[in-house]
Structure 1
Amino acid sequence: MSGTSDNEATGSSRRERPAPPLPEPLAPLVDAHTHLDACGARDADDVRAILDRAASVGVEAVVTIADDLESARWVVAAAEWDERVYAAVALHPTRANALDDGARAEIERLAAHPRAVAIGETGMDMFWPGRLEGCADPAEQRDAFAWHIDLAKRTGKPLMIHNRDADAEVLDVLRAEGAPDAVIFHCFSSGPEMARVCVDAGWLLSLSGTVSFKNAAALRDAARLIPPGQLLVETDAPFLTPHPYRGAPNESYCLPYTVRALADVLDRPATELARETSDTAAGAYGLRR
């Protein structure tokens, strides 16, 4: 789930708008964060179809992300169905109040799977409490985030962070608990100040279609601060479809649109950026290539 608000991209409006056309191929690419189940995939055939569309434009692998327990089971199964799919497991911050002893045991079991390559998405979300019925409160989120941090350390797998309107809160927990060796800020959507903190700490920042949004000037300034080796790219599909298709359904095949928009921001060749971010993703997640 996105760390950035995109009110145009509610579930109903996404379904009503036509899917973007296939972009010009750009290879190699790795979609560092997507939600195949939320994109409508239910079985191995659905997953294969999504990955085939992605492969046709240069996306060679995806990491599909869990945000509740049912999704955690599903993403690990999906990673077994198709060798181009890898999984990340956790409870989303807004669902942190479901992290009881049984959920912890199952997340730990799933995290041990060889195709589970990250612990996430976890973190802090200060946007939804008070707006979303049943949303975990900040204290519940903090406790769950700390537990996921410990799990990332014990498994040796990257910690994938969801941060929505919670820069200070996320940094406070990371400092209190001690960050694991590998930290990924999915859908990084903060400004230059937060980017500097993350870069100085050696953390990875993953950029999505939001970098192409007209109202994202601060994010583009932040993107210019991310050095080679600390930058990833993602779709967060089905959310955050890049401009000019914002509000349409997103899918991994749309990643080249985001990378070309980012290349324009950074004044770098898109092909160079594609290879660099793919190499970074492969190293961070331990992907077989």
Structure 2
Amino acid sequence: MSRDRRRAEPPPPPEPVGRLIDAHTHLDACGAVDADDVRVILDRAQAVGVEAVVTIADDLDSARWAAAAADWDPRVYAAVALHPTRANALTDDARAELERLAAGERVVAIGETGMDLYWPGRLDGCATPAEQRDAFAWHIDLAKRTGKPLMIHNRDADAAVLDVLAAEGAPEVVIFHCFSSGAEMARTCVEAGWLLSLSGTVSFRNARELREAAALIPASQLLVETDAPFLTPHPFRGAPNESYCLPYTVRALSELVGRPAAELARETWENASRIYGIRR
């Protein structure tokens, strides 16, 4: 068997580290189509202690799907929004539908929204920075009106994201999903009282700035996520990711910050339960 073939195989199930909530995953992108697929993925996750997941929308079709999936399985919750790169699809009809979906009881966040300055000019049809700013502002307002957490995607856009949040006024609860910035941005977010969610990237040896920033996050402002099927933690980088892989990230974070994995699991479970209103 070739090296590439081995890397493409799913990682083996990790040893549990305690109760966990995957604060950000994409069940549809993991291959789930219907309720049976969702149940299989959640059964795999629950077998290693991942008791609940928040599945995230990045376009209108996935927003509809995520809201439906949250009704298929009690371990699934949803977030709805248009991804920054798709902000140019935020028509009046899209706004109306997102507002309708966001009102759902099992839709627990508005996201992922924010700014992505990496893809404009690289990806055909990508929303411009101006379109992204307008859509981000609208999603901020939606989060305020619904009283739900705002889940931010930030790629190469620290200053732009902070500028929009300052101009619009941040909602009560702000989550930086897959936080990947350095120590300066981490300090700014921590001082503002925002939550930082860490993914498998914190296990990457070349993510030096992120690994330095991770040590600055207080226990009460920390979440963990997979962002599956992306960002599979070391040593399985390049293999397909799924919610059951979350304990690998928690163990990597434990080694990095010098704290017990079980303690990190308990703290992040409590934080996710509190901000998403998850009771299990």
Sort the TM-score into its range (normalised by shorter chain).
Answer: over 0.9
Question: SS of the counterpart of 2:124?
Answer: coil
Q: CA deviation at 1:214?
A: 1.3
Q: Is the 8 A contact 1:68 1:95 kept in 2?
A: yes
Q: Is the 8 A contact 2:7 2:238 kept in 1?
A: no
**Is it true that 1:30 corresponds to 2:21 in the alignment?**
yes
Q: In 1, distance between residues paired with 2:176 and 2:123?
A: 23
Q: How does 1:89-104 map to 2 (within 5 A)?
A: 89-104=80-95
Q: CA deviation at 1:27?
A: 1.6
Instruction: Note the alpha carbon deviations across 1:89-143, whole angstroms, 9 max, x for none.
Output: 0000000000000000000000000000000000000000000000000000000
The one-letter code of the counterpart of 1:43 is D
Question: SS of the counterpart of 1:241?
Answer: coil
1:71 maps to what in 2? 62
2:125 maps to what in 1? 134
Instruction: Note the alpha carbon deviations across 1:199-232, whole angstroms, 9 max, x for none.
Output: 0000000000000001111111101000011000
Give me the identity figure in percent: 79
Unaligned runs of 5+ in 2: none
1:157 maps to what in 2? 148
Q: How does 1:95-134 map to 2 (within 5 A)?
A: 95-134=86-125
Q: Is the 8 A contact 2:7 2:236 kept in 1?
A: no
1:226 maps to what in 2? 217
1:252 maps to what in 2? 243
Unaligned runs of 5+ in 1: 1-12
TM-score of the aligned structures, taking structure 2 as reference length: 0.98
Q: How does 1:10-89 map to 2 (within 5 A)?
A: 17-89=8-80
TM-score of the aligned structures, taking structure 1 as reference length: 0.95
Question: SS of the counterpart of 1:140?
Answer: helix
Q: In 2, distance between residues paired with 1:109 and 1:123?
A: 20
2:138 maps to what in 1? 147
Q: Is the 8 A contact 1:14 1:248 kept in 2?
A: no
1:176 maps to what in 2? 167
Q: In 2, distance between residues paired with 1:140 and 1:14?
A: 40
Calculate the aligned-residue CA RMSD, in Å. Answer: 1.1
Q: Is the 8 A contact 1:15 1:249 kept in 2?
A: no
Q: In 2, distance between residues paired with 1:271 and 1:112?
A: 34
Q: Is the 8 A contact 1:187 1:208 kept in 2?
A: yes
Q: Is the 8 A contact 2:35 2:69 kept in 1?
A: yes
Q: CA deviation at 1:16?
A: 7.4
Residue in structure 1 matching 2:196, options 188, 205, 216:
205
The one-letter code of the counterpart of 1:80 is D
Q: CA deviation at 1:15?
A: 11
Q: Alignment length, in residue pairs?
A: 277
1:273 maps to what in 2? 264
Q: In 1, distance between residues paired with 2:229 and 2:7?
A: 13
Q: Is the 8 A contact 1:209 1:243 kept in 2?
A: yes
Describe the shift of the 1:270–1:128 C-alpha distance in structure 2 as closer, same or farther (beyond 3 A): same
